[in-house]
Chain A
Amino acid sequence: MTRRVLVLVGVLVAGCASTGQVSLGEVREFADASARLGGYAELSRRYRDTYERELPYLSPQAERVARDTDARRRAVFDDFIAIQKTLVLYMQTLSSLAGDGRYDMSGRIDDLGSGLKAMTDSGLQQRHVAAYTGMTRLLTRVITSRYQNRSVDTMVRDGNADVQTLIDAMIVLTRIYEKANENERKTVLGLFSAEIPMANRNTDRMLVTLAKVHLQNKTAEYKLIDRRYKLAQQGLTKVALGHQKMRENMDKLSSEETRHMLAGYVHDLNLIRDALSGE
């Protein structure tokens, strides 16, 4: 009898051990690093506030056009942020699934809100909106089921297409932010490069000096921000790529190669996050 019990325990332990061999540590770390990646939200806010920064440099006629554009930027800002919030919640939930402890994320379900408010107006393409809807549905299902049949595999498999589409939307938007910022830089700095050489009278000297100091400061500001667009795009690309690779290698997560690959993405994402937060 005792021997039978021991054999049974042995079988159970062996069973547990074989499940335990599938290390989800790298999955958790990748999801954590993806959720913590900064840049996009900050650059979205910067894009939204373009008008305020440009205002002192605009002629009345240009200001009228700018004001109209400002209203349109503000109208869609919440939608642009909603995409990022959804992706972050997805990564946090994935991290919880891959973790050892018990998590209750039902409070976070409110963060999903009621979908993209300005769907028809929003510039997101139909596939972006569909991906957002699909993602929120998946998250609601995973979170409210309290991880019954918890499965990283299912979540990554079901979520991958939408993750890719949402990140694609974020990259496209970040590129547009970058272009708008470039145009803003030329609006601001261009005024000085034309006005300073024309102000060559003795009485202009003080004004020209002050203008040159201001120009120096603004040039430095734009140089710093330029780098952040690149970093944000790099980070998003890494998240997309890492998730795609995870999806492709779901059946061999415990292999040394897959774990090494995921660890590589985590390393890169941490470097990018450090670079974004260190400036």
Chain B
Amino acid sequence: MATSSHSNPDQASGDADTTLPSATPRQEAASSLPNKPPTPDAIVTTVTPGMPPAAADAHDVDSAARANALSNMQCVVDLADSVVCIADDLHERILQEIAGYNDRTMPDAQKALMRALTDDERLLRQYAHALYADAATFVIQDLKEPQHRLMALTAEAAEKIRRIGVIGEVTGLVGGILLLVGSIARGQFSQVGAALEKIQLHNATLKTLKPGSPAKT
């Protein structure tokens, strides 16, 4: 998920997943520094886009989520990174759609849809900001499994956004993601289950669509 390899036109100066410059003796420093916050579940590396939705059982996730979802600072950062990736994918998809018009004027209704989606993208980015602020301000209690499932689901949703054929279908999916991410960012875990169901529903619909290039409406 965080290793998403697609290129984003406005990502000129690097990926969100930044690393220290090679000039820094990071390895050496790490040996002298106390351990960083542990990342026992290695969420980012184990989640691959397109994997089956592991969170099929919304009840499991909901009850687990109630137990308080995010295990430590690094996990919150990973989750925020994944939300940024979804926003990046949405942005990329919007640009593709706009580019499809070349020099033709886009109908007003379509422009309104694009603007609504860019609003959604920026809202997603604000939720990512909220999670980064959480990472800097909270150490949240253990609960790795539900978070793992949430990450898997968001990874799949992001993949759908990239590959979806009809841009209009994105809106419902993004609505579900916004509800999910917003619930997590605000700590409203009771809503997580409903949001997951909504995303599942859209994913099921989207599976019937053949992925391809954006439709020229």
- For A164, give its contact among B32, B121, B137 (CB under 8 Å): B32
Interface size on B, as a range, is: 35 or more
Instruction: Indicate which residue in A197, A219, A238 contacts B12 across the interface (CB closer than 8 Å).
Output: A219
Cα of A59 to Cα of B126 in the assembled complex, Å: 11
CA gap between A175 and B81 in the complex, in Å: 12
Quick one: which of A135-190 are within 8 Å of B by CB? Answer: 161, 164-165, 167-168, 171-173, 175-176, 178-180, 182-187, 189-190
Produce 1/0 per residue, B130-143, CB < 8 A to A. Answer: 10111111110000
Known: A179-B132, A197-B99, A233-B24. A226 touches B126 (CB 8 A): no
Q: Does B94 contact A (CB under 8 A)?
A: yes
**Which residues from B are CB-within-8-Å of A223?**
12-13
Contacts A183-B132, A190-B118, A234-B23 given; does A76 touch B137 at CB 8 Å: yes
Interface residues in A, total, Cβ within 8 A: 64
Q: Mark B112-154, 1 if CB is under 8 A from A, else 0.
A: 0010001101110111111011111111000000000000000
In the complex with contacts A179-B81, A233-B20, A186-B29 CB distance below 8 A: no
Residue A206 is within 8 A (CB to CB) of chain B in the complex: no
B91 touches A186 (CB 8 A): yes
Contacts of B84 in A (CB 8 A): 179, 182-183, 186
Q: B59 to chain A: which residues have CB within 8 Å?
A: none
Say yes or no: A176 contacts B114, CB within 8 Å: no
Asked if B29 and A240 sit within 8 Å, CB to CB, the answer is yes
The one of B13, B28, B106, B137 that contacts A241, using a Cβ cutoff of 8 Å = B28
Check B34 against A165 for contact (C-beta < 8 Å).
yes
- Residues of B close to A167: CB separation below 8 A: 33
Shortest CB distance A68–B (Å): 7
Min CB distance A127 to B, Å, is 7
Inter-chain contact A226/B105, CB cutoff 8 Å: no
A198 in complex: contacting residue of B98, B126, B127, B132, CB < 8 Å: B98
Tell me if A22 counts as interface (CB < 8 A to partner B): no
* Complex contacts, B33 vs chain A, CB 8 Å: 164, 167-168, 171, 240
* A247 to B7 CA separation, bound complex (whole angstroms): 45
Q: In this assembly, does A84 line the interface, its C-beta being within 8 Å of a C-beta of chain B?
A: no
Q: Does B199 contact A (CB under 8 A)?
A: no
Select from chain B the residue with minimum beta-carbon distance to A200.
B105
User: Counting CB contacts under 8 A, is B88 at the interface?
Assistant: yes
A201 and B105: CB pair below 8 A? yes
Give the shortest distance, in Å, between B130 (CB) and chain A (any CB).
Answer: 5
Residue A110 is within 8 A (CB to CB) of chain B in the complex: no
**Given contacts A66-B129, A176-B132, A198 and B106 within 8 Å (CB-CB):** yes
Residues of A within 8 A of B24 (CB): 233-234, 237-238
Could you give, for residues 209-249 of chain A, a 1 whenever the CB lies within 8 Å of some chain B CB and a 0 otherwise? 00000000001001100100110011001101100110000
Task: List 29 A-B pairs, Cβ < 8 Å.
Answer: A57-B122, A59-B123, A65-B185, A122-B137, A167-B33, A173-B136, A175-B18, A175-B77, A182-B16, A182-B18, A183-B87, A183-B132, A185-B13, A186-B87, A186-B88, A190-B91, A191-B118, A193-B95, A198-B98, A198-B114, A201-B105, A222-B13, A223-B13, A234-B23, A238-B24, A240-B29, A240-B32, A241-B25, A241-B28
A-B complex: 7 closest residue pairs judged by Cβ atoms: A123-B137, A244-B32, A65-B126, A59-B119, A123-B136, A237-B29, A62-B123
Q: Which residues of B line the A interface, CB within 8 A?
A: 9-14, 16, 18, 20-21, 23-26, 28-29, 32-34, 36-37, 73, 77, 80-81, 84, 87-88, 91, 94-95, 98-99, 103, 105-106, 111, 114, 118-119, 121-123, 125-130, 132-139, 182, 185
